[in-house]
Amino acid sequence: MVESLGASTQGVLVSWTRSEEGVPTDHDPAAVRRVLLREAAAHVGHGLLFGFGYLPSRHRPERARDIHTVVFVHGLAANRSGFFPLQLYLAAKGLNRQYAYNHSSAGSIESLAIDLKQHLDRQVKGGRISLVAHSLGGLICRVYLQMLGEARRVDSLVTISTPHLGSHASAWLPTRLGTQLRPGGPFLEHLNGLEPPEGVHCVSFGASEDKIVLPPEHSFPAFGEHHLLHGRGHVDILFSPRLFRLVNAAVTTGVS
């Protein structure tokens, strides 16, 4: 199921109400407050989990053809702790083989994709892979699939609040990564001009109240399924029970 995108985001703050059909419309200060409070609570929750993201992973490499591993790739200036709630949900649904690691968030997106490849070559030596990525992690995964030729071992790609078409907020990031995230820039023009990853089931999730991916519609590439979660922010979306259910469906669809 593909959801409609609803109203366009304009500026840094957009207010929403809900019509009888449940679609957000403008001019509801109470709704804005609820969204901001929920996003603030998500940042607090992520902050409380952050230190645990540096604890050693329990993942152990296993070489077998019939295993399925869910791999998590975090975003800029984050670590694997942001996925802890989603990982617990997926484990409760029977997806116990998971691998999440911490990348440096420095250098270029291409170098981070090479780092991902090297980690997976060592840590996931057999079977099939589902990639679940937040924010910058989604672009790292796309380079891994579309430029490094690793689609052959991947069943699904799930991206969450990833700036597939860039973000105007990147103007505040004076680094090479910030330059690569500029809408219409050469990196994204090249990446989005490539063929979609062959044989990979691709699902992208965006947050209607995302203030990092601006506008939120830039969370969707030109291929795959698109879902916009209304009333959610860039970090808050990682705590959404609805997202948990949809991600579970995405990573268990078409698994070889």
Is 178 part of any domain? yes
Strand stretches in 165-224, DSSP E: 201-207
pLDDT at 62: 72
Residue range 76-90, pLDDT digits in tens: 988 889 999 999 999
Res. 22: pLDDT tops 70: no
CB distance 139 to 109 below 8 Å: yes
Q: Contact, 205 vs 216, CB < 8 A?
A: no
Residue 128 lies in a domain: yes
- How far apart are alpha carbons 160 and 73 in whole angstroms? 10
Average pLDDT over residues 124-147: 96
As beta bridge partners, residue 99 has: 71
| CATH number of the structural domain spanning residue 145 | 3.40.50.1820
Query: Domain range holding 76?
Result: 67-251
Q: Is residue 206 part of a domain?
A: yes
Position 126 scores a pLDDT of 85
Tokens of 193: 């001009």
- The token pair at 60 is 């152990």
Which residue type sits at 255?
V
Backbone region of residue 94 per phi and psi (left: phi > 0; alpha: psi in -120 to 50; beta: other values): left
Q: Is residue 85 part of a domain?
A: yes
Q: Give me the number of domains the chain comprises.
A: 1
Note the pLDDT tens digit of each residue in 100-118: 999 988 899 999 999 999 9
Domain presence at residue 219: yes
Q: How does pLDDT run across 200-236, given as a tens digit for each residue?
A: 999 999 999 999 999 999 999 999 999 999 999 999 9
The pLDDT assigned to 255 comes to 56
Average pLDDT rounded to a whole number, residues 28-36: 68
How many beta carbons lie within 10 A of that of residue 104, not counting itself? 8
Model's pTM, two decimal places?
0.82
| CB count in 10 Å sphere of residue 43 | 13
CA distance 120 to 172: 32
In a 3-state reduction of DSSP, which class is residue 241?
Answer: helix
